[in-house]
Amino acid sequence: MNCLFCEIIKGNIPSSKVYEDEYVYAFRDINPQAPVHILLVPKVHISSVDEINAENSVYVAKIFEKIPEIAKSENLGGGYRVITNCGADACQSVKHLHFHILGGTQLIEKMG
């Protein structure tokens, strides 16, 4: 399987790492859409939200435990947005589950 984010997790493609543990890899988005734009990915290949199940949901839980810590360390006390795109209609471009943290400015209200 040829997966961009699996290659980033393995270190075969460079990234600006923010955090890593046995479940989670967090790094800065290459094309930031806000002053702070971080991606959190599970360290196992899960294609999208559609593939989350009882066996792999611990990875999602671990990601969400880390989000407030990363938000604090990035000084996002004013608020931030967490987004995941699932499938073609949502414009998911990388088929490895990822959660965007966006912040560092007043975000627009519209999400869709």
In order, the DSSP letters of 7-29 are: HHHHTSS---EEEE-SSEEEEE-
Q: Which residues are catalytic?
A: 98
Question: In angstroms, rounded to a whole number, what is the distance separating the alpha carbons of residues 108 and 70?
Answer: 22
- Tell me the backbone φ, ψ of residue 55, rounded to 5 degrees: -75, -35
Q: Is 108 in the site for ligand DGP (CB under 6 A)?
A: no
Helices (H), 1-112: 4-10, 57-73
Among 25, 27, 59, 80, binds ligand DGP (CB under 6 A): 27
Q: Does 91 bind ligand DGP (CB under 6 A)?
A: yes
Q: Give the nearest distance from C-beta 29 to ligand DGP in angstroms.
A: 5
* Residue 48 is a binding residue for ligand DGP (CB under 6 A): no
Which residue, 28 or 77, has its beta carbon nearer to ligand DGP?
A: 28
* Type of residue at 82: V
Residues in contact with ligand DGP by the rule CB under 6 A:
4, 13, 15, 27-31, 39, 85, 91-94
